[in-house]
Amino acid sequence: MSDVNAITVTGHVGTNPELQVTPTGREVTRFRLAVNAGYRGPDGQWVERDPQWFSIKVWGEHRARNVADSVRKGMPVVVQGALSVDRWEGQDGERFDSVITARSVAVPIEHGRVTYARVVREAANGAGAPEDADAQAGGGGAQASGAAPSAVQVPQAPDSVEPAEPDPWERAEQAG
């Protein structure tokens, strides 16, 4: 059996994402995420706890740029990735930071409407073409640094959305 390091957290972005380039040329976007976990006390009143803070790192040219271009402070997001702990010696003793190296950053749809915009990059011959290999790998980010700005195809969101097929859970409720 192999071990699995996987975590999923839902919270609010605490800092605007910052896109950085490492000395070796790799791109990484970093931001802080606050997770507020409250509960109902014995008297039925909601009790707030101090938020848990995570440092989020998103590696890879397209993923890092997509997050930097899409996510803003205050947004609700769901982050999936691997958890690690950074430790260092500070002026007031040993310090810790919970770090999630994200594989996925998404917006929970119960908090608002989501619009998808596929990024189209300039191909080597100058023609606009989607980078399908990147999209299949979970990317779909913005233009690489130093290149011309990318064109983005933004579909118009309809006023109402009808499902293509009936919801199977809804069918089960109607039948039961």
CATH number at residue 142: 2.40.50.140
- Give the residues across from 99 on adjacent strands: 55, 84
Comparing C-alpha atoms, which of 117, 112, 27, 123 is closest to residue 76?
112
In a domain, 2, yes or no: no
Question: Whole-model pTM?
Answer: 0.65
Query: Domain limits at 17?
Result: 7-175
Query: CA 149 to CA 161: how far, in whole Å?
Result: 32
Residue 123 lies in a domain: yes
Quote the number of domains for the chain: 1
Instruction: Give pLDDT tens digits for 1-28.
Output: 678 899 999 999 999 999 999 999 999 9
Question: Is position 1 within any domain?
Answer: no
Contact 52, 32 (CB under 8 A): no
Is residue 133 in some structural domain?
yes
Q: According to the model, what pLDDT value does residue 171 have?
A: 47
CA distance 60 to 5: 20
Q: What is the pLDDT of residues 85-141, one digit of tens each?
A: 999 998 999 999 999 999 999 999 887 787 878 877 665 555 554 443 343 333 433
**32 within domain boundaries:** yes
33-51 residue pLDDT tens: 999 988 889 999 989 899 9
Q: Is residue 168 part of a domain?
A: yes
DSSP class of residue 61 equals H
Residue 82 resides in a domain: yes
As beta bridge partners, residue 11 has 77
**CA 109 to CA 35: how far, in whole Å?**
17
Q: What letter represents residue 76's amino acid?
A: P
**Are the C-beta atoms of 73 and 16 separated by less than 8 Å?**
yes
Residue 137 located in a structural domain: yes
